[in-house]
Amino acid sequence: MQLNYKKELTPVVFGETSVKILTTRLTANMQGFEQHWHDRIELHLVKSGCLKLCCNDQEIDVKEGELSIVSPTVLHGGRSGSEGYECYVIMFEIADLSNTTVSAKQYIEPIINGDIRFQYKTDMPQIIKLAEKIVEMQLDGGKYHPLETVGCLYRLLGLLCQYCIDDKFSVPQKSQRFDSVINYINANFATDISVADVSRRFGYDEAYFCRKFKKATGMTVTKYIRTQRLERARHLLQKSEESVRHIAISCGFIDAAYFTNCFRNMYGIPPTKYRANYTKKNKEPYPR
């Protein structure tokens, strides 16, 4: 089941190889990119510092020499830690690599469908060196034939499937009824909503509902509601001049102090500093 939440709609323009490389640099304690999801694979090859990558309900430190792996439809966002970071972002459309071979049907189609997901990061030398090679091939102009890059992508996918499949991941259950639960929470997260209220409204036993929600979304119900509230609050800090206390209450938080703690845990800085940083940057979009 895909989340009806922050799908990235801006298309990425690829060249002959279905790969795009970006270089991202952030100084200390900055929000890098807000939580979103998309249908492509995204890798972050950290050159220096530490990328704090939030995937579903887990925050992963991706350090120098490590590679993050964001599978299709995984909700993710990122920020820098106390030392900042610099990394290459490697994006490619997994669907462009699908074909009629047995291996593609066995591995690539399940990745596209979400039946296979990868661990969130790796430091395996073979994979790191291959990711570095793909970056070099893309940034070095016409030195390499486009088919060489495509071949490296298949090799990279082979290594990821051989060593980095998340065995603990269970395929989300598709349910029209449960989609209605997500839609209801998305529309009502700013109200005094609770796990008990939602489970009762849709006729679930509360304990069963919590297990089913985590299996379907990768998050606990409480985490999902809090994330929705924080993302709405972050938007209001950018676009409005309302006080932090007013924004906190309007987004469903019980008081400003609790909101500040949650915001700092999510984004690494308190809301007042986040607003000041955003204003200082003249409301420029986050680097991607």
Dump pLDDT digits (tens) for 59-109.
899 999 999 999 998 889 999 988 899 999 999 999 999 888 888 888 898
Confidence of residue 160 (pLDDT cuts 50, 70, 90): very high
Residues sharing a CB contact under 8 Å with residue 275, sequence separation 6 or more, in sequence order: 237, 238, 244
* CATH number assigned to the domain with residue range 176-280, chosen from the 4 options 1.10.10.60, 3.30.420.280, 1.20.1250.20, 2.20.25.160: 1.10.10.60
Locate 200 and state its tokens. Answer: 């009762």
- pLDDT at 267 exceeding the cut of 90: no
Whole-structure pTM value: 0.64
Please say whether the beta carbons of 144 and 137 come within 8 A. yes
Locate 46 and state its tokens. Answer: 């950290």
Q: At what angle do helices 271-280 and 256-267 cross, to 10 degrees?
A: 60
Flag the least confident range among 7-21, 39-53, 117-131: 7-21
- pLDDT at 168 exceeding the cut of 70: no
pLDDT digits (tens, 9 = 90+) for 2-29: 444 566 656 677 777 889 999 999 999 8
CATH of domain 19-163: 2.60.120.10
Which residue did the predictor score with more confidence, 30 or 170?
30
CA 146 from chain centre, in angstroms, equals 28
CA 220 from chain centre, in angstroms, equals 16
Flag the least confident range among 39-53, 215-229, 233-247: 215-229
Task: Domain ranges for the chain, please list them.
Answer: 19-163, 176-280
Q: How far apart are CA 92 and CA 205, in angstroms?
A: 41
